[in-house]
Structures are given as structure tokens and as C-alpha cells.
Amino acid sequence: AQTIHQWPVAEIKAVGSPLSLGCTIKGKSSPNLYWYWQATGGTLQQLFYSITVGQVESVVQLNLSASRPKDDQFILSTEKLLLSHSGFYLCAWRAEVFFGKGTRLTVV
Amino acid sequence: GEQVEQLPSILRVQEGSSASINCSYEDSASNYFPWYKQEPGENPKLIIDIRSNMERKQIQELIVLLDKKAKRFSLHITDTQPGDSAMYFCAAMRATGGNNKLTFGQGTVLSVIP
């Protein structure tokens, strides 16, 4: 069975500080991986997707970047956080199913 | 890009009655329509879905209907229980190149009153 692990579970970060969120999937080779973002109380938006190592496509511009350094790993990052980055970040290996527990980010 | 409109944003029903949530989409190339239930602090959970080659699907108390001509789909929860109280999202998906792009509705907060 496939398992997806996201880290950290929660973060409180200062405006202007860097951020790195991680996602690892096990039990699935060459998965399509996705990052989603949900503002508090809001809907979900697809941010990035990756179909192979080293290749990432941006769907929505939110001053974030993503990388796929390994087949089973997907990283979301920024060098300077904004208040608007607060929310819930979800990683998925299929576009329509969420296996990750998510990372709750609060920017203060 | 695709836009998905979801109504109502808030829905309160009595326990045992039915709840209906309606969504509409714009892109006729969308071919997959999932529904998610999200409880506070949790990630969204896929509860039922329908593909464009179907008009109706039922899983226990959940019924989804799809009208491709009108570009509308809906979720009906029959015999609602307090445990059905949550946020519900509809979504529409289309394949674009290597991406299965999923566009979500704005969500419906369902409250089932005992």
C-alpha cells in the first residue's frame, strides 16, 4: 500500500523567513506528485505538479517554488514568507486523492 | 481556466432529512467529479466521485448526479446524521498534458441539527 508522509506537521514562521515543506511517498514508483494549498476557512488550490524527477510545473503563482529531487520526494519552499502563505499545505500522489496529513503553516 | 461554483455555502438541516449541494463547471473537457468531506483540522477525504460516462452513482447514503449538458453535478446526502456535519467540497478534473488539474468549489459547511 502507498503511504505518504508530510513534514513538518505544523510550523509557525515569521514573515520574511524561509520555508521548506517536504513530502515523501512510499510504495509507488514514478508517481505524479502534487502540492495543494488551502487558506484557513477557504477552498483548495493546486500549486504544483510533477510527473518525474527534476521536472516541476507551476499551476498558481504564490511566490513559492517546488522541487522534485528524488522519485519519491517533493519539496515546497520559499526564501521569504508572506502573511498570505498561511494555511494548510497538502501533498498528493494522485490529483484526486489526498493521502498526506498536511502541514499547517502560520506566518506571523 | 476551469471555474467551479458551489452552492450553498452554508447548509443547516435536521437530522434524518436530506441535504443537497450543487456545483456547476465551465470546462466541457472536465471528465471526473469528486466530492470531499473535510472535518476541522483534518485533510479532505474523498467520499464519492463520478466520471463523465455516468449520470448517477450511489454509495450508501450518498448520491451524486451529473448533468453534462448543463455542466452541473450535485451531492445528495439522505438520512443525515450529526456525523455528517463537516465542510464539503466538489471538484472538477480535466487532464492537461501531464497534469490532472483539479479545480475545487468554494465549499459548503453542512450542519446537521439533532
Give me A31's grid cell: 508517481
Nearest to B102 among A88, A95, A102 (CB): A95
Residues 6+ apart with CB under 8 A from A81: A13, A14, A15, A16, A17, A18, A19, A107
Mean pLDDT across B68-77: 97
Q: Which residue of A has its CA nearest to B95?
A: A95
A66 falls in which pLDDT band (50, 70, 90)? very high
Helix then strand count (H, E) for chain A reads 0, 10
Ranges A42-46, B15-19, B79-83: which has the least confidence: A42-46
Q: How far is B30 from chain A (nearest CA, A)?
A: 13
Nearest CA to A31 out of A74, A67, A65 is that of A74
In whole angstroms, give the CA distance from residue A35 to residue B86. 23
- What's the confidence (pLDDT) of residue B101? 83
pLDDT reading at A86 higher than 80:
yes
- What's the confidence (pLDDT) of residue A95? 65
Mean pLDDT (chain A) is: 92
Q: Return the top range by mean pLDDT from A56-60, B7-11, B36-40.
A: B7-11
Does residue B43 or residue A13 have the better pLDDT? A13
Preceding omega of A8 cis (within 30 degrees of 0): yes
- C-alpha to C-alpha distances, B96 to A9, A76, B48, B83, B93, nearest whole angstrom: 31, 22, 23, 36, 9
Mean pLDDT across A32-36: 92
Mean pLDDT across B35-60: 94
